Structure formats: structure tokens, C-alpha cells
Amino acid sequence: MSLLHLAIFSPFLMAILVPLFYKGLRKIHTGWFVLILPIVLFVYFLQFLPVTRDNGVFQRSFDWIPSLGISFTAYVDGLSLLFALLITGIGALVVLYSIFYLSKERESLHNFYVYLLMFMGAMLGVVLSDNLITLYMFWELTSISSFLLIAYWYDRDRSRYGALKSMLITVFGGLAMLGGFLLLSIMGDTFSVRELIAQADVLNNHPLFLFAMILILLGAFTKSAQFPFYIWLPDAMEAPTPVSAYLHSATMVKAGIYLVARLSAIFAFSEYWFWLVGGIGIFTLFWGSFNAVKQTDLKGILAFSTVSQLGLIMSLLGAGAIALHFEALDDNIYTAATIAAVFHLINHATFKGSLFMVVGIVDHETGTRDIRRLGGLMSFMPITFTIAIIGAFSMAGLPPFNGFLSKEMFFTGMLQLLSADIFNLETWGLLFPVLAWVGSVFTFIYSMILVFKTFTGKYQPEKLERKPHEAPFGMLISPIVLAALVVLFGLFPNLLSYSLIQPAAAAIMPSIVPAGEVLDVHVSHWHGFSTELFMTIGVVVLGILMYLTLNKWIRLYSIFPGKVTLNTLYDTGLYASERGSYNVTKAYMNGSIRTYLIYIFVFFIGILGFTLWNKDAFTVSTDNLAPIGVYEMVLSAVIIAGTMAILAAKSRLTSIIALGAVGYTVSLFFVIFRAPDLALTQLVIETVSVALFLLCFYHLPQLNRDQEGRRFKLGNLAVALGVGTIVTLMALSAHSTKRFESISEYYIANTYEEAAGKNMVNVILVDFRGFDTLFEISVLAIAALGIFGMIKLRLSKKGEGADE
Amino acid sequence: MEILMSILIGFLFASAVYLMLSKSLLRIIVGTGLLSHGAHLLLITMAGLKRGAAPLLGEEAASYVDPLPQALILTAIVISFGITAFFLVLAYRAYQELGTDNTEEMRGNEAND
Amino acid sequence: MNNPNNVIFQTASKVIFFIIILFSIHLFFAGHYYPGGGFIGGLMTSGAIVLLLLAFDIQTVAKGFPVDYKIVVGLGLLIAIATAAGAMLFNVPFFTHAFGDVYLPILGETGLHTAMLFDLGVYLVVVGVTMTIIQTIGESE
């Protein structure tokens, strides 16, 4: 445990305290307490900037499950630090925003902040773990906290639907990813990412390599909402807006990007990696922006926009992989794509975060997010409007905002692919800049829709629930901070160049950055009249034209058949699998205990009988048998007689007494077999059991055996005889074969030396096999509580079920 | 002795299964009781019977019977007591609520929900 | 099940109860060296209380032992887990027991063993569970 580990776990610890704050200090909004933590963490992580500046790393480790090679190694390098700062920084702003967004009177804030903190801790865990298994654990934890947050307003159908959808898709991806991780660990014999990176050459030639890559990419693509898995993200917008801003645009959906970036060093040399990451990324960019235009819900626009921007970053990471095929660092132009990816990652978090908060404000102040009902809000909310302009223009890629810079770099990255002469890029490479450009045009259009449809145009007060006015100041702080960053990074991008971008990019491509050197990162506004600039001008010109003529061509979207969508596929698939599993279960689970018992016993007979026969295991040895004395004969006879009496019993009392007799006889057997502890225990237990039976006696019905027909009894008899025979055969074989020394020898030899006891049975119980005993008494306690609950807490409704 | 015990255990198992397959709840519970007796005897028989002194070092014998099955059985005895008690209460509560102790009549109707 | 005329049974059971309790405590402490231990001791103790239940009625016994047995169960589990987890404080794996000879006043040189503490947990759980079950069933009439 180090301070770094503590930093990762601190959100979880804080989450424990949240209900106390909520219950104890109702007067103060719980968010104020929570706010402290991300700020402290942000400052804490800022300290690492000097460490990573020269591509240094910081790492602390402690063993978690050493026997499986799983340790919790927390690891800070440029990439993880960038994410950690995003998580804590945006986290702090989002918490601040949520204080004003969620009312302390009406909302169950304790749930909200517990989930949010859980997410924060999990996300920090994802980006700071070096061990694949810990990474996976935190990864799934982010999915679960996202599920809980989307379903925060759980009384809404859409929320539950969206939550379930995101959970199913991301957890499916997560499981695939776990498979990929395990394959990686089989190939490299370690769970450590850095150790795997060190042997990337070996892994590249392994037959399982491609398989592992596809599985891991499934995880990354589902999480980062890439085509065709993006469908969960628009539905996730049912979450409260602070959550959308935090999880579903700034951090969680970037976990997939993080994973791709982190594992680039292992996989990126492969051609498949380039085509999968780059190809799917660029198509997602196009598809997301294309679909964003037709949305009428402001958050819907932002959701598809996020999908598209994630595709953009993904495609840049794919393009950056080309750099690995060119050795020299000095003239390696392909590193530009990776640098652009990192830069855009930061920019996207700032402008998209501010836009989400703007949409939240609009929603909060007008009661709707539908652009058909909004309009002309500019004069009511001038500050919000300004923030929206800054965010949207940055998203559209207009100067002087930071989005312009990274969009230019994105075009550069895509255009450079044309000059690469590998992977058939001569023929197919053109697709990248073309799709990138088309996607940018649509991006421009929806950015304009977002601002101008909301804030300009005709004001329609009759369609709004309440009269709009500017948001309270507290709610504006966070978006203002983000918008200020948008402008700041736009004007002075080189503030970030060597502090954050270079270390992160170098961490993505460790093999081409020699130790002691740094990548050349310099972001400038003016490159001369380059192709990129003309592309941007083209985007703006065509974008404005298309925005102005929007009404004329928006109908084109309806040409697409409404039924054949990925969402329909998901819905019908889900419904079919539910029906299918229900019917399959119905077919054999008929609600009768006897049927289930018969399944069990028949399988018991079948499997054991088959094994005995197949392995030729049945042997009877007459050596080494213990002698049979008179006592044993008598006791056996008593047991048989007792059992017969139970079988034939017509009254309850007879069977209870006969069962007691059998039990006492068994305890006498234990005496003969030299098991004094057992004999004592059995004796007392039998006494207590009989007392118990007698206590319940009054409550139990008379034995009524008339309903059982002859066939019924014969069937039971057959199964019973089968079980009896198999058990006898098994007992005989078990006695007759001794394949190896019993482990009991160890206990016998060590009872005194190791455990200082003389009663071996007791020593085994409390010492050697103490776990068994611990669990056993837990089971007993549960049974006692269950009985107490059944009798004392009669929650069942009167009358229900009584007539069945 | 072991052969006799094996047959006795088989008999106990068969009777237990027969009881558990019947319709009456009480017989099912008695059946589980018998089943656990059978299982305990099976465990101790499998380790071999009477091959030394009781597993107490105070006996100072040359050889002891196997202590491990005894420890397992001790755990099992106590657990089976818990299970029997739980079953018993479940049965009588079910009887009180549903008015029958016939398991066939207790079949749920979750399909109609 | 109280029979007011059962004077002999009631008087005898009072005496026998203490004998059984003493015996059960002996069994519990003997556990590490001779037959006995937490399970048997606990069961024997509850057997003694059950005897009283048979002789008197539930209310009388509940008055004599005003104990919430559910808390006894929890206490027992706590002791057992704490004993096991306590080992971690000394940087040895979960469930490592310690033992040694300690000089105690009056008793002299005595062997002490943390397994005893664990067994005490078992003892309490067994007593608690048995009595919870019997008492709840008995009271439900």
C-alpha cells in the first residue's frame, strides 16, 4: 500500500462516508463534501508532472494474489497521468456542477454520489493499473457504476432500458477483453502490461496473437462506443446530465481509447491492428456525425457527436501505428497522428464537457431539450449562449479554438496515410481523408444546429414549461472554466505540448522514443496554405451551405428504412433470447420437487455407474478387512429394523422415534469405529434433533400416504434401489483401492509439533482446516437466522397462496 | 466388516431416496436425515475401519485410525442438524401457509404471473 | 408441554442441568487434547438447556437465561473471524494460530493456544444457533 494506492482507493473510502454526510448534515448539499476529494486528488496528481515530463515513470506495487501472479501495481506514466488528471479535474467540475443541478430536497443524493465516487475510483484504477487482471476488475466496475448512474432515475422506463443496454453491451465487451487478456498472459507468461510490451516481438509471431487482439478490441470498441456497438451511448443519455458529461463523454467512454493506446505498443505493428482500429474509427467518425444531424434531442446530438469524436481519436491511434514501421525518429512524420490523438482527447474533454453542461442548463431552465421547441434563448441566457458558441465552434473546428488545432492535426494525420507505402494504403488510403472530410462537414452542421437552433431563431414560450432565465452562478462556474480552457488551449496550445501531450504520446509509442529523448511536439496555428487549411475552408463553406438548406435535404434521412437498424437488432435479439431461455427452462423445470430430485438421482446413478464401468473401477478386495463382531451385527440389525419401521410407518410419531433410534445406533457405531468425538457429537445432536422434531410435531400434518399410487411407488423404488446399489459399489471400491497415501499422515505426524494439540480431530477442525469450520459456523448462523426469519417475520400477505 | 457396512450404507441410501421421492413433506425430511447418516457412515467406512487407536495422541499407540474423515463427519453432523432444522421449519411454515404437505400440490404457478 | 405435577422431573433436572453444564465446559476445554471441543461442548450446553425446557416451559427458562441467542451467534462468529484475522496483524497468513506456555498466577505453567479462542467462537455459535432454533420454534406455538 502506498499513497498512490490510497489515492485510487480514496473514492471508495469516501463513498462509505457519503451516506453519513447525507443523513447527518441534510442542510448542506452532500456534493460540497464530495467535491473536496477530486480537488485533492487533482492536486496530488499534478505533482507527477515533473516525473513524467522526461518520460519517467513512477510505480508502486503490492501483492494481491501472489499465487496467481496477480499484483496490484499502480503505475504512473505520461498516458496514465493524462487520464488521471482528466478524471479528477473534470470530476471536480462535474461534482461542482451537480451541486446546483441536483436538488438536495428532491433527489436521493447519497445514491448519486456513492455511484459517482465508485466510478471515479474504478476509472482511476483502470488507468493506473499495470496488471491486466486489476485493470479488468476496475474496467467492469466502471461498467457497473455507469449502469447504476444511467438508471439513477430508476422509475423511468427509458432509464432502465438504457442502463440495461449499456450494461449488456459493455460487459459483453469486457468479458471478451478478459479472454484477450488471458490469451496475452498465456503468450507472455505475465499479467504485467510493461512486461508484455517488453516482449512484443515474441507475441507478434504467436499463433494466438490475432485472436487476442480481436478480443481486446471488442472490449475497447464496446466501451468507446465504436461502430456497431455505439447504440448504447445514445440511450445512456437518460442519465442526469452531469453524469453524461463526466462518464459518457469525458472519461468512461475514453477507457477504450486508453486501452487501445496502452496496448498499441504490443499490437500496433500488425497490419490488422491498423485496419481495425483506424478503419472502424474513421467509419465511426463518419457514421456518428452523419446520424447526429438528424437528432432533435440536444443530448442525442451530443451523444452521436461523442460517438463520432471517439471514432476520430480511434482512427488517429490507428494511423499512428504506421509510425512503428519507420525507424528514425527525426523524420518520422507518422508520429503526428498519435500526438493529434492525445491533443484531441484533451480538447474533446473540454469542449464536450462544456457543451453537455450547457445542455444541462437549458434543460434545467426550460424543462425541455427538444430543438423543435427551443429557440431564441440568446437574450435570456447570454452567458450560457457564449459558452455554447465557444464549445460548438471548437467542436466544429473553427479558429482560434483548440478544436481547430486538433482538427488540422487530424487532417494532417489522415493525409499522411496517402504517402505511406504499406498495407495497401496506395489503393485504399484515400478513404481515410475522404471520410474524415465528410465527417467533418457533418460535424460542422450539427455543431451549428446545437447552438443556433437553441439560442437563435424564434422564441416559442408556449412550448416551454417555464419561463427561461439565466442559470444560477454556481451552475455556470464549471462550464465557464471549461470554455476558458477551450480558449486558452486554442491560443496557447504549447502550454500542453511538453507537459502532457509529449509524455502521453511517448508512452503510447515507447519503442520509437529512445530513452532520454523526447518527441518533437509543437502545435502551431499557421502552416501556410496547406491541404489541411483548404480542407477546413471546404468544410466551413459546404457546412454553412448545407446548414442553411437543412430543411431541403433533412428528409433524405427518412429514405433509410426505420426497421433495419442496429437498435432493432438489439431489441429483437434480446427479446428472442429471453423468450428462448424461458421456454427452455420451462421445458424441464416443471415446479415439482420430486421431478428435480429424480433428475439429480438419475444423473447420479448414470454418471457414477458409467464411471465405475468405463474406468473399470469396481474392485472388491477381501484383504485387510476388519473383523465383524457381535456388536456390529446387532447394531446393523437395529439400523435396518429402524429404517424399515420408518418406511412402513403410518404415524408421525413412529417415524420420528425410529429416526432417533437409527441416529443413536449410528453413534454407537462411531464408538466401535474409535471415533469418540463423533460418538459424543452424534449422541447430543440426536437428542436435540428429537426434541426439535417433537417441538414441530404439533405443527405438522398427519402422514397421509393414500395419494401415492402403485406406479408412483414403483418408480420411486427403482430410483432408490439404483442409488443404493451404486453407493454400495462405490463404498466397496473405495475401500478396496488405495492409490496413494492419505493426506491424513501429515495430520497425524504434525498434530503435536505444529499445532500443539493431541486430539487430532479437534486440531484438524480448529487449526489445519479452520476455514471449513469457519464457513460451517457461518452456514449454521445463516440457517438459524433463516428459521428465525421464517417464524418471526411473517411478511406473506394473508390469503395469498392459501387456496393452492 | 467393510463389506457389511457397504451393504448397510447402500440400504440406508436406498431408503432415504425412496422417502425423499414421496409426496409427504415429513417423509422427505426424515429421508434427508437418513441420507446424512448414510453419508457419514460412508465417509468413515471409506477410510478403513478399526485400523488403530482412536485419533488421540494421548493413546500413544503405534497407529491411529484416519482422523480426517472424522473431522469431516463432525462438520457434516452439525451442518445436517442445521439443515434438518431449517427443513423442518420450512415444512411446517409451508403447511401453515398452503394448507397442504403434499409437494405435488405445492407446485408454483409462476407461469401465470 | 409443562406438566404442573412433574415435581420430581423438575427438581432432578435442576441438578442434572448443572452437572451437564459443568461436563460441557470440561469437554470444551479438554478439546485440544482429549475428545471434546467447541462443537461438542456447545451442543452439550444446549442439550442442558433443552432439558430445562422439557421440564419447565419456555417462558420460565427464558426468564432464567435472559439472553438473545442471536447475539450469541454474532458474538461467536466475531470471535472466530477476529481470531483468524488477528493473525494478519502479526504479518502471518490468515488463520495462523500461535501457542506457547505462559506462567499464570495460581495455575502455574499453562499451555495457551489461540485455537482455543477460535474454538470459543465455535462454541458460542453452536449454542446460539441451537437455542435460537429451539426457542423460536417453541415460541411460535
Question: pLDDT (tens digit, 9 = 90+) per residue, A316-333?
Answer: 998 888 877 776 555 567
Output the pLDDT for position A735.
77
- Asked if residue C136 has pLDDT above 90, the reply is no
pLDDT of residue A118: 93
- The DSSP code for A69 is T
> Mean pLDDT in chain A?
85
Domains identified in chain C, total number = 1
Chain B residue with minimum CA distance to A769:
B71
The amino acid present at A200, given as its one-letter code, is: A
* Percent of chain A with pLDDT strictly greater than 70: 95
A257 pLDDT above the threshold of 90: yes
Instruction: Note the pLDDT tens digit of each residue in A211-227.
Output: 999 999 999 999 999 98
User: What pLDDT score was predicted for residue A711?
Assistant: 80
Helix (H, G, I), strand (E, B) or coil at C110: strand
Please report the pLDDT score of residue A800 as a whole number.
Answer: 45
What pLDDT does residue C102 have?
A: 62
- Helices of type H across A698-769: 710-736, 744-755, 760-763
For the segment A234-251, the average pLDDT, to the nearest whole number, is 89
pLDDT number for residue B111: 41
Going residue by residue through chain B (113 aa), what tens digit of pLDDT does each one get? 788 888 999 999 999 999 988 888 888 888 999 999 999 999 888 877 777 777 777 777 777 888 888 889 998 998 999 888 898 888 888 887 777 777 777 765 444 33
* Confidence band for A90, pLDDT divided at 50, 70 and 90: very high
Instruction: Write out the three cell numbers for C94.
Output: 490468515
pLDDT for A163 equals 92
Which H or E run includes A383? helix A382-396
pLDDT score for C14 = 85
Q: In chain C, whose CA is at the least distance from the CA of A783? A: C129
Contact yes or no for A681 and B95 at CB 8 A: no
> What pLDDT shows up at residue A802?
40
Residues 6+ apart with CB under 8 A from A26: A104
Calpha distance A422→A439 (Å, rounded): 25
Q: What is the pLDDT of residue A654?
A: 87
The count of other CB atoms within 10 Å of the CB of residue C69 is: 23
Q: In B, what residues contact C, Cβ < 8 A?
A: 54, 56-58, 74, 78, 81-82, 85, 89
Q: CB of A269 within 8 A of CB of A260?
A: no
The model's pTM: 0.73
Contacts of C30 in chain A (CB under 8 A): 759
The answer to which of A395-409, A649-663, C15-29, C53-67 has the lowest mean pLDDT is C53-67
What range does the domain containing C98 cover?
A: 4-139
> Whose CA is closest to A70, among A149, A131, A155?
A131
Q: A80, A7, A76, A15: which is closest to A43 by C-alpha?
A: A7
Question: Is B56 in contact with C137 (Cβ distance < 8 A)?
Answer: no
- Rounded CA-CA distance A781/A788 in Å is 10
> CA of B59, closest CA in chain C: separation in Å?
10
Quick one: which H or E segment has residue A62?
strand A58-65
Distance from CA of C5 to the nearest CA of B (A): 30
Residue A606's pLDDT is 92
Give the list of residues 6+ apart from residue B65 with CB closer than 8 angstroms, or none.
A673, A674, A675, B47, B48, B49, B50, B51, B52, B53, B54, B55
Q: What is the pLDDT of residue C4?
A: 56
Q: With contact defined as beta carbons under 8 Å apart, do B55 and A759 qualify?
A: yes
Residue A387: the pLDDT is 92
Question: What is the reported pLDDT for C101?
Answer: 64
Give A699's contacts in chain B (Cβ within 8 Å): 92, 95-96
* Confidence band of A516 (pLDDT split at 50, 70, 90): low
C-proximal residues of A, 725-764, CB under 8 Å: 755-759, 761-763
Cβ pair A729, B23 in contact under 8 A: no
Binning pLDDT at 50, 70 and 90, where does residue A799 land?
very low
- Provide the pLDDT confidence category of residue C110 given band limits of 50, 70 and 90: low
Contacts by A106-113 with C-beta closer than 8 Å and gap 24+?
A109/A22, A109/A29, A109/A30, A109/A31, A110/A18, A110/A19, A110/A21, A110/A22, A110/A23, A110/A30, A111/A148, A111/A152, A112/A149, A112/A152, A112/A240, A113/A15, A113/A18, A113/A22, A113/A30, A113/A31, A113/A34
Task: Using the predicted structure, report yes or no on whether residue C141 has a pLDDT greater than 80.
Answer: no
* Selection from A311-320, B55-64, C27-36 with the highest mean pLDDT: A311-320
Q: Quick one: average pLDDT of A78-104?
A: 91
Residue C98 clears pLDDT 60, i.e. is over it: yes
Say if strands A70-76 and A58-65 run parallel, antiparallel, or are unpaired: antiparallel
Per-residue b/e over A397-417, b at no fewer than 16 CB within 10 Å? Answer: bbbebbbbbbbbbbbbbbbbb
Contacts with A676 from chain C: Cβ below 8 Å: 35
CB-closest option in A628, A685, A758 to B81: A685
Dump pLDDT digits (tens) for A334-357: 788 888 999 999 999 999 999 999
Contacts of A754 in chain C (CB under 8 A): none
Q: Which residues neighbour A625 within 8 Å (Cβ) at sequence distance 6 or greater?
A: B1, B2, B3
For the ranges A721-730, A767-776, B100-109, the lowest mean pLDDT is seen at B100-109
Task: For chain C, give percent helix, strand, coil, nearest 5.
Answer: 70, 10, 25
How many beta-carbon contacts under 8 Å exist across A and B? 281
pLDDT of residue A150: 92
Q: What is the pLDDT of residues C63-80, one digit of tens each?
A: 877 888 888 998 999 888
CA separation, residue A731 to residues A98, A115, B42 (Å): 67, 54, 7
Q: Is the per-residue pLDDT at A115 higher than 90?
A: yes
Mean pLDDT of A470-485: 90
Contacts of B74 in chain A (CB under 8 A): 677-678, 681, 761, 765
> What 8-state DSSP symbol labels residue A72?
E
| Start-to-end C-alpha separation, chain A | 59
Contact between A134 and A72 (Cβ < 8 Å)? yes
Mean pLDDT computed over A779-789: 90
With CA atoms as reference, report the closest residue to A566 among A574, A578, A558.
A574
Most confident of the ranges A227-231, A355-359, A396-400, C2-6: A355-359
**Per-residue pLDDT at A561:** 65
Helices (H) and strands (E) in chain A, counts: 36, 2
- Cell numbers describing residue A194: 510493461
Which residues in chain B have Cβ-Cβ distances shorter than 8 Å to A656? 30
- Please state, in angstroms and as integers, the Cα–Cα distance from residue A501 to each residue in A321, A495, A522, A756, C62, following that order: 17, 10, 10, 63, 73
Torsion (CA) C29, C30, C33, C36 in degrees, nearest 10: -110
Which H or E run includes A188? helix A157-188
Residue bearing the bigger pLDDT, A295 or A523: A295
Q: Is the CB of C132 inside 8 Å of chain A's CB atoms?
A: yes
Which tens digits make up the pLDDT trace of A8-62? 989 998 988 888 888 888 788 888 889 999 999 999 999 888 888 877 888 888 7
The bridge status of strand A70-76 relative to strand C108-113 is unpaired
Lowest mean pLDDT: which of A68-82, A463-477, A639-653, B48-62? B48-62
Mean pLDDT on A642-646: 90
pLDDT at A801: 42
Distance CA C85, CA A480 (A): 51
Handedness of CA A127, A128, A131, A135 (dihedral sign): negative
Q: Where in chain A are the domains?
A: 276-548, 629-703, 759-804
Task: pLDDT band for A797, please (50, 70, 90 cuts).
Answer: very low
pLDDT band at A804 (very low <50, low <70, confident <90, very high): very low
> Measuring CA to CA, how many Å separate B36 from each of A146, A386, B58?
47, 77, 30
Instruction: Determine which of A690, A692, A764, A774 to mutate to test the interface with C (most C C-beta atoms within 10 Å).
Output: A774
Residues 590-609 of A with CB under 8 A from B: 590-594, 597-598, 601
Residue A113: pLDDT band by 50, 70, 90 thresholds? very high
CB-side exposure of C79: number of CA atoms within 13 Å? 21
pLDDT tens track for A271-304: 889 889 999 999 999 999 988 888 888 899 999 9
Q: C-alpha grid cell for residue A461?
A: 414560450
CA dihedral of C66, C69, C71, C75, whole degrees rounded to 10:
110
Query: Looking at residue A347, what is its pLDDT?
Result: 92
The cell for A31 is 456534493
pLDDT confidence of residue A602: 92
